[in-house]
Amino acid sequence: MRYFKFCRETNKIALMANIIQSFNKIHDKRNNRGKRYQLNSILGLVAIGFMSGCTSLRAIWKLGLSLNRTDRKKLGFKNCITPCNPTIIGVLKSINPDELENVLSAMVCFLSKNKFKHIAIDGKSIRSTSDSKDGLLHLVSAFAAEINGTVAQVKSGRGAGEIEAARKIIDGLELKEKVITGDALFVCSKLCNQIVSKSGDYLFKVKQNRKRILSDIIQRIQYHRNKNLPIKSFESEVTKAHGRIESRSIEVVEVGGENFGGMTTIKQAAVITRKYCNMKDMQDKEETTYIITSIAGDKASPKELLELNLNHWQIENKSHRTRDVHCKEDVSNVICHKLHQINAAMRNMAIFLLSKIDNSIREAIDKCTHQASMAISMLFLRI
């Protein structure tokens, strides 16, 4: 039902092309002479391959051989002949990864009608590239858990690191009324100012790598406690999951407009206390997290700030972990960085489309595995 509802709602949008036709926006560097397969057909095959649980391009080639004539024709293969494995690899290597990322990101944003407010940014290393001559490949992604879609992904350079990659991502996103969350690594005045200048907001954790900000948060909260000044707070209900019993509480103080920790965009600072007990040893433990945000106190309650901080890790659970567990990304035998980045981008798109078929990615993959036409039909959604 979820799959058919999404198809009905999306097909109400009457624009120029469907997903597979939109692949034509990607520049094809191959010479037209002797070209046997269209680029959009090959990308379509790769997309349905990842949706059907294929973990390598070789498996996708075999999937192409197993498709019936009707499905091959739908994908646009002339004479209903699908390409061999070396051809698939060669064509993908000819693509500009950044261009592909931009096209896929635009598709995700349009198909979701831009209806998401929370964007989590985090990096992921592709461990199978550790032996590559270019070193470990690291990709920084922007993930919207509300739509289960990656709205941007950038390769992190050797020297610039994740912050410069994040700035590239922010530069290409529409941030009005959206909140960017990230780990302590992204607490950088340039990045924070960039987000605010684009009418967005941020919520970042603070650790020892930003000692001045961390010290100011601790001192401000302690000062409010000692002087009995207002401290907004919220305590979550006790939950039981993953072998743990836990609860979280948050205390928030406003710091609006001043030069707090060397930054002028911070509006609120908070301390989050997590109390938990492992069911195995039944020992009570406690950990403390500090956060800063540009969201004003009248726009987000302590409960909402706590939820934003907790929901940030959906990027790990719904994106990075899915690519590792279901797509076997970290055990791939691909060494080429460019090909790995392209595969990662196509996997992100596949995960987004699979989430429209079933809440469980595993169940959605099983459905596409047993019924290839279901995966192919997702490529004909109007965008």
- Report the pLDDT value the prediction gives residue 262, as an integer from 0 to 100: 84
CB 19 within 8 A of CB 107: yes
Residue 9 in this model has a pLDDT that exceeds 80: no
pLDDT band of residue 133 (cuts 50, 70, 90) is: confident
What's the rounded mean pLDDT across residues 9-28? 70
* Bridge pairing between strands 284-293 and 118-126: unpaired
pLDDT of res. 280: 77
DSSP letters, 302-358, are: HHHHHHHHHHTTHIIIIIIHHHHHTT-GGG-----HHHHHHHHHHHHHHHHHHTTT-
User: pLDDT tens digits for 232-282?
Assistant: 999 999 888 777 889 999 999 998 767 888 898 999 999 999 998 887 777
The pTM is what?
0.90
Of residues 161 and 132, the one with the higher pLDDT is: 161
Query: Coil, strand, or helix at residue 232?
Result: strand
pLDDT at 15 over 70: no
